[in-house]
Amino acid sequence: MKSPPIVPLPVPSVRAYDTPNDAGGSITVEWELSPVDSVVRMYEVYRLEGSPEAEPVSAGFVLRGTQKFQDNNLKDGETYYYFVRTWVGEEYADSRLSNPAVPSAQWFHTGRKSALVILLIYGGLLFYYLQQARSGKPLYIRKIAGLEAVDEAVGRSTEMGRPILFIPGIGYVSDIPTLAALAILKRVAKKAAEYEAEIIVPNFDPIVMTAAQEVVKEGFMEAGRPDLYNEKNVYFLTADQFGYAAGVDGIMVREKPGAVFLQGVFYAESLILAETGHSIGAIQISGTTSVTQLPFFIAATDYTLIGEEMYAASAYLSRDPLSLSTIKAEDVAKLGFIAVFLIGILLETLAAITGNQALHFFKNWFSLF
């Protein structure tokens, strides 16, 4: 496979600069492609430390068509020079030396300014409505069917003389949906204690287990029945996704719960659990923010808390005015975002019709780097 030799041509220009928005120790090298880029095997970047006369060291290489290389693990404050070696087959050609560049660390990530502005405005809204709540302004929240059904499910299960099964999913205590699930668990536990029903909570994560133990105990205390609390019913199964599913399936068919709650983070095991729960005739209330699993919960369970409804649950169930106020702030933020969409859509449409690239400024402002 001998092709006629092609002479490697160096890249026409090389530029080096401190990598922006980083913790220091990094320089970005940029170049224009070699005129023979289509046959280039790779671009190898060489680094010279301290002075243009220093010994060149290979810093790394990239594939053809690439114009950028980030050189890491450098010393902040030191001066570096670069050149790019263009490889064609076993031949190479070196570019001229780049300008000197000095790596340093930055204190603000300019690529994330839009995120900061959004966070500040949204945070301001949240604080504003928290203050409103402190001044005692009543807040309305629409009915959420899945949450209305919680008490009913516990009641019906008790009537049938069956225990209640609460499945907190396979999330960790650092997952927000798991914390939302614990808030729902507290309500379920309280109701169960009122009805003197048994509640079983099998766990995937040991920390969630300890938190769940505390939550159930608290729920029983609030109902005035700490005597009924049995810590042995809140236990750990296994940290294996499908092992957990196998174990919970076993609990379902043997304990025959009358009500099954599937709340928290779920992955593929969601349908295994929900179908088994359906097969034993339990009332099932599910909720998750894992969008890929929602279709299966919708299909196989009686009530489903979709995404954000789950986060609203703790406020909804506790009717705590402070929590409710954050939901009001969420709603105002939604209107704000819709307004932003409309402005963006208008500007983008104008840009597309007039061909005026400047009109993209609004959309571009939201880019994250």
Binder of other proteins out of 49, 67, 102, 109 (CB under 8 A): 109
CB of 81 to other proteins, least distance (A): 23
Task: Compute φ and ψ for 288, nearest 5 degrees.
Answer: -160, 160
Binding of residue 62 to other proteins (CB under 8 A): yes
The smaller minimum CB distance to other proteins, of residues 47 and 328, is found at 328
DSSP labels for 279-302? HTT-EEEEEES-GGGHHHHHHHSS
Binder of other proteins out of 6, 54, 57, 176 (CB under 8 A): 176
- The count of C-alpha atoms lying within 13 angstroms of the C-alpha of 145, restricted to the half-sphere facing its C-beta, is 8
CB of 53 to other proteins, least distance (A): 28
Where on the phi/psi map is residue 169: left (φ > 0), alpha (ψ -120 to 50), or beta? left
The smaller minimum CB distance to other proteins, of residues 101 and 273, is found at 273
Contacts with other proteins by CB under 8 A: the residue count is: 120
Binder of other proteins out of 36, 37, 41, 151 (CB under 8 A): 41
Place of tokens 């930055």: 106
Site for other proteins in 8-37 (CB under 8 A): 21-24
Site for other proteins in 304-343 (CB under 8 A): 306-312, 314, 320, 322-323, 326-331, 333-334, 337-338, 340-341
Binding of residue 295 to other proteins (CB under 8 A): yes
| Residue range at the interface with other proteins (CB under 8 A); choices 5-13, 46-54, 158-166, 344-352 | 344-352
Site for other proteins in 221-250 (CB under 8 A): 232, 235-243, 245-247, 249-250
As a whole number of angstroms, the longest Cα–Cα distance in the chain is 89
Binding of residue 78 to other proteins (CB under 8 A): no
- C-alpha 173, offset from chain centre: 14
| Rounded distance between C-alpha atoms, residue 96 and residue 258, angstroms | 77
Hey, which residues does 45 pair with through a beta bridge? 60, 84
Binding of residue 64 to other proteins (CB under 8 A): yes
The smaller minimum CB distance to other proteins, of residues 151 and 348, is found at 348
- The count of C-alpha atoms lying within 13 angstroms of the C-alpha of 58, restricted to the half-sphere facing its C-beta, is 8
Site for other proteins in 265-294 (CB under 8 A): 268, 271-272, 274-275, 278-279, 289, 291-292, 294
Name the E strands within the chain.
Answer: 14-18, 27-31, 42-49, 57-62, 68-71, 80-88, 91-94, 164-169, 199-203, 234-236, 259-265, 283-288, 303-306
